[in-house]
Structure formats: structure tokens, C-alpha cells
Amino acid sequence: MKKSHHRQTQTAIKRLFPKTWAAKNWAAIGISGFLALGVNQLHAGSGPSDTIYLESNSTAGNVIFTYTFDFTSAPTLKSMTPAGGIGVFDPSFALGPFDSDQNLIENSSGSMLFAVNSGSNSIAVFRIQSDGNLSPVPGSPFPSGGSDPVSVGLKGEPLVVVNKDQDPAQAGTTAGAVQPNYTTFNVTPDGRLVPVPDSTVSVAYGSSPSQALVAAQGNTVFGADFLGGLLQSFSLDPSGALDQNLPQTLPESVFNGLTGGHLPLGMRTHPSLPILYVDITPVSKVAVYTYNPKGHLKFVRAVPDAGAAPCWVVVNHAGTYLYVTNTGDDSVEVYSLADPLNPIEVQHFTMDSTNGGAVFSTVIDHTDKWLYVSSEQSSAAAAVSANAFHALKVAADGTLSEPFAPTNLPVTSTPAVRVQGITVF
């Protein structure tokens, strides 16, 4: 980074976040030093292997796949655990409306796993054993507080759930009776989900909310109503209930001279700064916002994505690189966050496409050295082996390579499935 640009970046961030600047004395350590200090790792140290969890999303019975990966050979299937419900299948294979992120997540201590049963309107909760295997907590699965749960986010005890209300198999019974919503539950020490009174916020019919993103900073929750073209933001109050802010549209300036709907999808926040990154799928851009302690958003800019149809996004724990999965051309875009308000593309990485899948959700391990990307069957003509995941090695400069072939998931073609959801511990 040029010195003048470096000073401009420091000045801009100091103006946006003056209290944090004073507390951290960024002027003394510089932006690169701050980002090194701001590492927010979920785990202490690096273990000899990663445990990777994926969800079958099968209408014949939802299953959690557990894989182990020792970084020297392809991941190995360890176990298959029923989730106590069923998934959702969209025979149209439409891109966007039936997609979602954070279908399963673990808590920060790695003791519990939460997974959606989209087709049976429930959330499964598991204890994670010391060997990585799963055991259901008493009472699991629990009602999701709506129809077609697709995403979960966790902030201490409160669990945020997004109910999309878009399952084709349930349309005849829920249309006009249940709206898409965001709702919260308190998680008891033994893993039970207890609804928070008056915590449900309904959104417009057909708006297709896709993600329950709990911000890294403060008590804020973000969501993208994909077909509604809106960004949602909420404050979590002390009881765990959601206080909704006024929904926000995407700026018209992002779409000047372009054809494509105002359809936001994947979102992530910076681990150390109040910054939100949003994929705008139809126009292949990533929008950058800042947010205040109440979750109010301020648009900064949108940067181009060389790939097609960016869907999901993650930021590494150090806050130095941003990774965007491009479903349209089966690629991952790598951005440097040397200036976190102005991501700069450093690599357009094309995936190993031998399995014929389209990439979707992605997670990064606690060492920031491995990125795991799920792929799924994206058309009726694609083989069932399209349901798979990729293990990508992250170099010191943030760039990616794929040392192993994609790992095919043990699902069958009858009934057809689109595997969704991936997390790592």
C-alpha cells in the first residue's frame, strides 16, 4: 500500500470509529498492526486436524455428515447422524430463491452444533463429543418458530433463526398462514431452545430471507431479504428479542448502466471493525457498509467481482482477506482487506469442476489456512456427485490452491437432493 493511501485509510477509519481508534491507538501501530492484533480466533492453537460438518438437506431424512481432515490427504467420512427431520428440494433448481447460508453452525466453545430441518420446521441441536461425533440433546429437534427454517446465528445464549417460508412441499398449507420471519430462542445450558417472548419479526411474503448473520461487533443481527431487495438489521435486546431497524434498499448508484435485479444475498462482517460486506448477485459486486452500535447501516462503496453470481462470503479471522463464492462460474474471488473499506481483488480462483457442481456456502478454519466450500447439484441434468465439498489451501498471501479432488457426499439420486450447509471446528 502506498504511504499516502495508507494515511488516507487511517484517517477514514479514525473518522468513522473515533472511540475505537483512541482505545487501540491505531495511529501508533498502523492499520496492518491493528489487523494483526485484531485476530478473533474461535480456538486456541492449531490442532492436528479439522472436523467438517455438512447437511444432506434430504426430503427422505436430513443427515449431518461428519468428516475429518488431517491436511495431508483427502477428508474422510467419520459418521452420519440423523437430524430428526427432513430437508427441502426445489425441482426448478432456481439460483437464489431457494439458497441460504449458515444452515448449520457450532457454538464458540465447540460443544454444540445447531442445524436446520427446513422441511419439518425444526432446529436440531447436538452435543459435539470429544471425537467430533454428534449426539442429540434432550428434546431435539425443536420447533423453529415458523415455516422452512434455513439459517441460524448465535450470540451467546440467543439463537437467531430465519424462517424462509418457501418450501414447495409446504406451500399448500402455509401460504397466507405463515410469513417469513426472523425469530430468537435462548439456549439453555443443556442445549434446549426456549422461544424468547415477542421476539418474532415477520417480513413480506415471498421476500426470501436467506441468512441470520450475527455481527462480530456489538449486539447486532443482519439479514438479506433476497427477493425483497432489502437489507434487514436488528438490535438484540437484553432478553434476546429482536428490535428491528428500518429496512434499507441497495443504492441505485450500484446498478447504473447494468441490467440485474436488486438482489442481495450473502453477508459477513469484519471480525474487528463495524463493517458489513454484502454480495449483490445479479450484477457481480460486493457492497461495503459501516454500521453503528444499533445496527444502522451506511453505504461506503461497491467493488467489482470478476466472477459470476457472487452468493456467499467469509472474512478470515485476522480480518485481512475476504473470500466470495461465485456460483455462476464455480469460482472463489479473493480480496485483500489491507484497506477494509475498499477490498481489492488479488485472485480469481476457478474450482476443480470434475464433480460438475456449483459452489455455494464456504467457511474458513480457525488457523485461516484452509477454506472449505460446499458445492451442490445445480440442474436436473447434473450428476448426484455434484453434491460435494472442496478443501482449499490458503497461502500466506491469502491466495488459494486445491491440492485434493472434491469430496463427494454419500447421497443418492432418489430422492434428488441439493446439499446445503457447511461448518468446521
277-329 tens-digit pLDDT:
999 999 999 999 999 999 999 999 999 999 999 999 999 999 999 999 999 99
pTM of the model: 0.89
**pLDDT tens per residue across span 125-163:** 999 999 999 999 999 999 999 999 999 999 888 999 999
- The 3-state DSSP composition of the chain as helix, strand, coil percent (nearest 5) reads 10, 40, 50
The overall average pLDDT reported for the chain is 87
More confident residue, 90 or 364: 364
* pLDDT confidence of residue 260: 78
The single-letter code of the amino acid at 362 is T
* pLDDT confidence of residue 65: 97
- List the beta bridge partners of residue 233: 222
DSSP-derived letter for residue 209 is: B
Residue 355: pLDDT over 70: yes
Q: What is the dihedral of CA 418, 268, 113, 120, to 10 degrees?
A: -40
* pLDDT confidence of residue 250: 95
Cβ count within 10 A of residue 27: 12
Check residue 319 and give left, alpha or beta (phi > 0: left; psi -120 to 50: alpha). left
**CA 371 from centroid of its chain's CA atoms:** 13
Q: Please state the three-class secondary structure of 289-354 as a single string.
A: EEECCCCCEEEEEEEECCCCCEEEEEECCCCCEEEEEECCCCEEEEEECCCCCCCEEEEEEECCCC
% of the chain with per-residue pLDDT over 70? 87
How far apart, in whole angstroms, are the C-alpha atoms of residue 401 and residue 304?
Answer: 22
* pLDDT confidence of residue 378: 77
Residue 192: pLDDT over 50: yes
Whether the Cβ atoms of residue 234 and residue 263 lie closer than 8 Å to each other: no
